[in-house]
């Protein structure tokens, strides 16, 4: 809600002066559903290459015309040489190889590359749009939360790819690990001001903390000086001539300090402190999967003979490639999907609260948060509802804005406020960090760690996983198994599978 996406929109639309020589590509939306294949959709984005290739084809055809005189033939030949040189610079001969490599990195199989874009879900069409942005190699690439809707494998690949990006990249991200690997500089947007920091995210955090500490020392010193001067002026301004002159001198010093600009007090926006109420105890197991198999109609089984259980002390992060069935598992737990074989057995009194990636599944976007929660709570006063929402960082005018107009991060906080009032025994969290800033992610982690119920988390955010998960479950080969190791070990496993070289995080210290 601070204006990051708005600022990026202004940049993308050249709302501020940018030299014409700098071509900009702003990734905003998923690619539209059409008859084009995923591969064709990526190749079609390179308009300049396509235009040059079309001119080459046209001139090559003209060269076969026997009626051409020598002068025209020489002119066409010169132009073709020029075009071939430009296409060579653009690596045009390897365009399809590059496009396939990028799509493969974003976990498209050869079969998927040849599927029509209309056959893909919105999340996969967003990946195609990201592949187009990477393929075109603009001078300035603008990415807003590029890791959203990606699985761990695609995030690790993208992290490696962007860390070797040779041009200008400006991105909005909430992922500490991702920013540490990719970014060499951080721009902080706070109180409508942009502040520039050299270094990766960890360096930025340290530098900003030191800067704020020095700023507060300066602020406290100034306030102390102002207090003493005001007291002196009030006490001696009408005393003897000598004291009055000294008081006047201090008055001038005070006026100059104000004129030159006083140091601002460091104030951090309150993001609220998330809280999930502790439920009453239930005897284990609270949820059992007994020989569960599941597959969608006319598709191979995603799960075969799965046996597992969840209790109130479960703290599980679910990892695995896209399409292996992580979100499907959550839907089997909630009963939105039914196994084709076996049983899902929840405790008769089990209450589940689920965070979905799709806000419209949970919220009435035509209402404001205050109106929505007043209807939920019924008997609570306006002040009580306002106070409740404030705990989740939904404060001020945001409480009375129609939810459809809120930023995705603000909508996420509304969903957490909604989940909390369900007083659940089990939290099912499907990519909860996609639109949260770093402070909100930390607030969410604290809330989970203070919660006495169970949790099952689907996330590619390594920071959150490392903060809240006691176990990592790996979904692959139609089964679920406990992964023996930390999330950092799993990332190294993915890097090895992708054949990426080990490297140190970026810094610019």
Shared-domain flag, residues 31 and 180: yes
Shared-domain flag, residues 141 and 225: no
Shared-domain flag, residues 468 and 348: yes
Q: How many alpha carbons lie under 13 Å from residue 172 in its C-beta half-sphere?
A: 22
Residue 297 confidence (pLDDT): 93
- Which one, of 467, 500, 504, 499, lies nearest residue 486 by Cα? 467
- Which one, of 357, 509, 359, lies nearest residue 432 by Cα? 357
Q: How far apart are CA 507 and CA 175, in angstroms?
A: 16
364-422 confidence digits (pLDDT tens): 889 999 999 998 888 889 999 999 998 888 888 999 999 999 888 889 899 999 999 99
298-308 confidence digits (pLDDT tens): 999 999 999 99
Shared-domain flag, residues 255 and 325: no
Shared-domain flag, residues 52 and 194: yes
463-495 confidence digits (pLDDT tens): 999 999 999 999 999 999 999 999 999 999 999
User: Is residue 452 a contact partner of residue 279, using CB atoms and an 8 Å limit?
Assistant: yes
* pLDDT for 321 beyond 60: yes
Residue 503 confidence (pLDDT): 57
Q: How far apart are CA 196 and CA 207, in angstroms?
A: 11
Please check whether residue 277 lies inside any domain of the structure: no
Please check whether residue 295 lies inside any domain of the structure: yes
> 333 versus 94: which is more confidently predicted?
333
User: Is residue 181 a contact partner of residue 505, using CB atoms and an 8 Å limit?
Assistant: yes
* pLDDT for 509 beyond 60: no
253-281 confidence digits (pLDDT tens): 999 999 999 999 988 776 667 899 999 99
Shared-domain flag, residues 199 and 329: no
Shared-domain flag, residues 180 and 65: yes
Please check whether residue 280 lies inside any domain of the structure: no
Q: What mean pLDDT is predicted for residues 22-41? A: 92
342-369 confidence digits (pLDDT tens): 999 999 999 999 998 776 667 888 999 9
Q: What is the CATH number of the domain that holds 148?
A: 3.40.50.300
Please check whether residue 305 lies inside any domain of the structure: yes
Please check whether residue 126 lies inside any domain of the structure: yes
Shared-domain flag, residues 165 and 250: no
Shared-domain flag, residues 155 and 181: yes
Please check whether residue 278 lies inside any domain of the structure: no
449-463 confidence digits (pLDDT tens): 999 999 999 998 999
User: Is residue 439 a contact partner of residue 464, using CB atoms and an 8 Å limit?
Assistant: no
Please report where in the chains the tokens 């957490």 appear, as a residue.
Answer: 416
Please check whether residue 506 lies inside any domain of the structure: no
Please check whether residue 218 lies inside any domain of the structure: yes
Tokens of 51: 């235009």
Shared-domain flag, residues 224 and 350: no
Residue finishing a domain among 203, 236, 268: 203
Q: How far apart are CA 242 and CA 67, in angstroms?
A: 106
Shared-domain flag, residues 15 and 100: yes
* C-alpha dist (Å) from residue 98 to 39, 187, 501: 10, 31, 19
Q: In which band, very low, low, confident or very high, does the pLDDT at 336 lie, cut at 50, 70 and 90?
A: very high
- Which one, of 508, 107, 33, lies nearest residue 322 by Cα? 107
On average, the pLDDT of the chain sits at 90
Tokens of 410: 């603000």
Give the domain range for residue 221.
Answer: 208-260
Residue 89 confidence (pLDDT): 66
* pLDDT for 505 beyond 50: no
The number of domains in the chain is 3
Residue finishing a domain among 182, 203, 224: 203
Altogether, the residues listed in the chain come to a count of 509
34-51 confidence digits (pLDDT tens): 999 999 999 988 777 788
Residue finishing a domain among 181, 203, 225: 203
Shared-domain flag, residues 194 and 227: no
Residue 508 confidence (pLDDT): 47
């Amino acid at each position: 809600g601070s204006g990051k996406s708005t600022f990026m929109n202004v940049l993308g639309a050249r709302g501020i002066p940018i030299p014409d020589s700098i071509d900009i590509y702003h990734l905003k939306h998923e690619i539209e559903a059409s008859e084009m294949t995923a591969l064709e959709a990526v190749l079609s984005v390179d308009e300049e290459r396509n235009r040059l290739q079309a001119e080459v084809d046209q001139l090559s055809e003209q060269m076969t015309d026997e009626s051409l005189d020598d002068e025209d033939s020489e002119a066409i030949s010169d132009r073709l040489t020029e075009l071939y040189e430009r296409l060579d610079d653009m690596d045009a001969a390897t365009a399809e190889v590059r496009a396939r490599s990028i799509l493969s990195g974003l976990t498209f199989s050869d079969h998927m590359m040849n599927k029509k874009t209309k056959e893909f879900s919105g999340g996969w069409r967003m990946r195609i749009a990201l592949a187009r942005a990477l393929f075109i190699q603009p001078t300035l690439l603008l990415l807003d939360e590029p890791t959203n809707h990606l699985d761990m494998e695609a995030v690790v690949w993208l992290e490696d790819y962007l860390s070797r990006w040779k041009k200008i990249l400006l991105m909005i991200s909430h992922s500490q690990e991702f920013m540490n690997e990719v970014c060499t500089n951080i721009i902080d947007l706070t109180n409508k001001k942009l502040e520039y920091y050299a270094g990766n995210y960890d360096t930025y955090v340290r530098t900003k903390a030191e800067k704020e500490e020095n700023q507060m020392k300066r602020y406290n010193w100034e306030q102390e000086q102002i207090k003493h001067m005001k007291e002196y002026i009030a006490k001696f301004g009408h005393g003897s001539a000598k004291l009055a002159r000294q008081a006047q001198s201090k008055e001038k010093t005070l006026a100059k300090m104000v004129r030159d600009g006083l140091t601002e007090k460091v104030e951090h926006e309150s993001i609220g402190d998330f809280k999930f109420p502790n439920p009453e105890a239930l005897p284990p197991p609270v949820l059992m999967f007994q020989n569960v198999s599941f597959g969608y109609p006319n598709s191979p089984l995603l799960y075969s003979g799965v046996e597992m259980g969840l209790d109130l002390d479960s703290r599980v992060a679910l990892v695995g490639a896209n399409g292996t069935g992580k979100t499907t598992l959550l839907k089997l737990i909630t009963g939105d999907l039914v196994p084709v074989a076996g049983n899902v057995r929840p405790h008769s009194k089990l209450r589940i609260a689920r965070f979905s990636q799709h806000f419209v599944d949970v919220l009435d976007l035509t209402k404001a948060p205050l109106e929505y929660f007043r209807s939920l709570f019924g008997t609570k006063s306006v002040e009580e509802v306002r106070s409740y929402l404030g705990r989740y960082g939904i404060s001020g005018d945001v409480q009375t804005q129609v939810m459809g107009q809120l930023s995705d991060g603000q909508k996420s906080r509304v969903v957490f406020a909604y989940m909390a009032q369900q007083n659940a025994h089990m939290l099912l969290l499907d990519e909860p960090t996609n639109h949260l800033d770093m402070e909100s992610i930390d607030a969410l982690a604290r809330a989970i760690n203070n919660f006495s119920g169970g949790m099952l988390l689907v996330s590619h955010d390594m920071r959150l996983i490392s903060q809240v998960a006691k176990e990592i479950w790996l979904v692959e080969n139609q089964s679920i198994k406990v992964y023996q190791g930390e999330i950092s070990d799993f990332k190294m496993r993915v890097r090895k599978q992708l054949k990426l070289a080990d490297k140190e995080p970026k810094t610019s210290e």
